[in-house]
A and B are shown apart, each in its own frame.
Chain A
Amino acid sequence: MAQINMLGVSKRFGDIEVISDTTLEIKDGEFVVFVGPSGCGKSTLLRLLAGLDEITSGEITLNNQRIDHLAPAQRGLAMVFQSYALYPHMTVYQNMSYALKVAKEQKSVIDEKVKKTASILQLSEYLDRKPKELSGGQRQRVAIGRAIVREPKVFLFDEPLSNLDAKLRVQMRIELTKLHKKLKTTMIYVTHDQVEAMTMADKIVVINNGEVEQVGAPLELYRSPANQFVAGFIGSPAMNFFSGTIKDVSANGIHFDLNNSGASIFLKCSDANVSIGESIQFGVRPEHFILAKKTDQIITGEVYAVERLGGETYIYLSSQTDDDIIVHFSGDREIKVGEKIDVGFSIKDCHLFNSKGWAIR
């Protein structure tokens, strides 16, 4: 049982506020991913939880007990670092057993726990090796093993896969998900890679400029982003945005024009807090474009780059709206650079954001 609550947590380094007034609930057994661009404060938030940095204000509780004043080791959390942070002069066994040795556990207990963990992580044959004699993936597993043997209430992962190559990253992603299912422990995972976030998380926390932008299940964020930042950050390639102007607002929905295109679009919405003449942003995901036939709306563009990967095709267009568009088609499409094509989209797949960037639904 490990539920974490952050209440109005903020962190300042001198005059710079890197985390501002963050309130967050992480339930027992959840796999929560903090995601955001570099420098957004996600690692700082993790370090505040771990106790490696002190909070400036607010409260952090674990199972309703305040832990923000406790030393890192007393919080019952274990952390896996991006750099692995394995002790280079110790063997795998010594690395994994260090915390237990420091805690003055009995030798037989240490031995049992280390060997059991090594067997789960397929490290049994490497226990006598030093970290430099291991591959990147093996080192990563040792770092995870070092956390597991402590039997922590919560695991903290700080971009643990970013030093691995693409293939190993996919493999470790799956292994970590399996491990979470097996251990059923609360895990908090920091990454800037939204694919990791989407594939591993029960709940994603999107952070930008030290503030939580949205919290939700992966597909909830994908389907209903709360604002333009989340819409642009979740999904790969990123959502296409077009500028527009509100023409009419009624009880059924709103009418707006896409700038420079002559296209006029009606969108049904129940809570359109916008006014006539207001600038808006209209978003369409690359995978929601189709080659135009009988779709709701059409945009014409000239192809300036094509990426054909066999199983999927990415087309880059300069459109009449002066915006560059990325279009994603599944399968191979024989489209040439310089060609003019019409792409369409279905209104139900589109997103609209008001002048402050908040979603209009």
Chain B
Amino acid sequence: MERSNYQRAKSFRKLKKQLWLLFLLLPPALILITFIFLPMASALWYSVYDWNGLIRGEFVGLENFRKVLLDPERNWFFFNALKNNVLVFVSLMIIQNGTALVIALFLAREPKGARFYQVVFFIPVILSTVIIGFQWKMFLNPVFGLINKILNAIGLHDWALPWLGLPETALPTMILVNAWAWVGFPAIVFLAAIHRIPRDLIEAARLDGGSEWQIAKDIIWPLMAPAVTIIVVLTFIGSFNWFELPYIMAGLEGSPAYSTDMLGLLFYRTAFGSISAGGTEFGVGSALAAIIFIVIFVFSIIATKILVAREVELN
């Protein structure tokens, strides 16, 4: 009798614990399902139907995917935007994250005013993309913009270009603006990773005769691998979801001449309509969204797998 009472009490405790866990997990799970998984599933669902405005038409299988990837009249837009997204990713990896690494290595040496520099580099990160876009659009204005005024003032008249108006310079300019705005974030992540490396290891390398460059290359770089993994994956996701900055600085059409067109902009134009794309094509837009998701998902998995393999425990 006593034993069965004990077992009842035990199973009641277990049930209480499970209910508590359910109570904690249910709200975030519901939010994830409602705002992430359901829209993803519905996008996939929409992508296999023909749509007439917002009215669902008949089931068309993979026709919408074919239109995006294989239709000779429109697949140029997809591959042009894809090429631009790849360009953005590669450029940001080199310019933004490379600069961030240099800044982190500099701040890790704790120069005078290191805290001040940290704040200075990080301030643009907390600014809204809308503010950054408009601010730089004004700076880059060919007539009254600050950049060209400075260039003219220092005698570089040939350099005073309509930076956002030329197909050759528009995208690189926007990439530089993005790098300016975001460089503080990878810098802080890299700095935290460098601070995690035990001081003894750096001192041992110094006693071993390593120069600053050799210590950075042989000791610090391999040991900050987890931070590099995070930054590579986040940069890729950010580059392939690039929307606000090109939208604000170059408009929905990726002007001039689609030189700043991105998959995000193309999706928006296709799904919700625009001057160039005409009316809404919900099904084709959904197919495009599904393709963007697959590209990001596959890259993130592969990159994480490869990059995690070079990570080592510090102890």
Contacts and interface: CB of A to CB of B under 8 A. Distances in A.
B200 interface: yes
Contacts of B198: 83, 85
Contacts of B312: 88-89, 130, 132
A102 interface: yes
Instruction: Place the interface of chain A in its size category.
Output: 20 to 34
A150 to B, nearest CB: 7
Interface in B215-251: 218-219, 222-223
Given A87-B201, A88-B312, A50 B207 contact: yes
A136 to B, nearest CB: 12
A332 B223 CA distance: 54
Contact of B205 (A88, A98, A103, A130): A98
Contact of A89 (B203, B206, B207, B222): B222
Contacts of A99: 207-209
B200 A81 contact: yes
A73 B208 contact: yes
User: Which of B205, B208, B211 lies at the interface centre, i.e. has the most chain A CB atoms within 10 A of its CB?
Assistant: B208
A98 B208 contact: yes
B132 to A, nearest CB: 38
A77 interface: yes
Interface string A87-115: 11100000000110011000000000000
Contacts of B211: 102
A79 B209 CA distance: 12
A52 interface: yes
Contacts of B204: 79, 81, 85, 87, 146
A217 B115 CA distance: 49
A60 interface: no
B29 interface: no
Contacts of B223: 88-89
Contacts of A85: 198, 200-201, 203-204
A254 interface: no
Interface string B260-303: 00000000000000000000000000000000000000000000
A78 B210 CA distance: 13
B67 to A, nearest CB: 48
Contacts of A82: 200
Interface residues of B, number: 21
B36 interface: no
A148 B313 CA distance: 26
Contacts of B207: 50-52, 72-73, 77-79, 99
Interface in A31-66: 50-52
Given A83-B198, A88-B312, A103 B206 contact: no
A88 B206 contact: no
B314 interface: yes
B200 to A, nearest CB: 4
Given A83-B198, A98-B218, A102-B214, A88 B209 contact: no
B209 A102 contact: yes
A103 to B, nearest CB: 6
B202 to A, nearest CB: 9
Contact of A87 (B209, B219, B313): B219
A22 to B, nearest CB: 22
Contacts of B218: 87, 98
Main secondary structure of the interface of A (DSSP, over half): loop
B315 interface: yes
Between A79, A83, A89, A132, the greatest number of chain B beta carbons within 10 A of the residue's beta carbon is seen for A89
A109 B26 CA distance: 64
Contact of A150 (B201, B208, B222): B208
Contacts of B206: 52, 71-73
A99 B214 CA distance: 11
B62 to A, nearest CB: 46
Contact of A73 (B209, B313, B314, B315): B209
B222 to A, nearest CB: 5
Nearest to A80: B204
B200 A102 contact: no
A102 B222 contact: no
A105 to B, nearest CB: 11
A72 B209 CA distance: 8
Nearest to A102: B209
Contacts of B208: 73, 98-99, 102, 146, 150
A123 B315 CA distance: 20
Interface string A147-180: 0001000000000000000000000000000000
A249 to B, nearest CB: 54
B314 A102 contact: no
A123 B200 CA distance: 23
A102 B219 contact: no
A77 B214 CA distance: 20
B203 A103 contact: no
A77 B207 CA distance: 8
Nearest to A152: B207
B214 A88 contact: no
9 contacts: A50-B207, A52-B207, A72-B207, A77-B207, A87-B219, A88-B313, A88-B314, A89-B222, A89-B223
Given A99-B209, A102-B211, A132-B315, 5 more contacts: A71-B206, A73-B208, A85-B204, A89-B222, A98-B218
Interface of A: 50-52, 71-73, 77-79, 81-83, 85, 87-89, 98-99, 102-103, 130, 132, 146, 150
Interface of B: 198, 200-201, 203-211, 214, 218-219, 222-223, 312-315
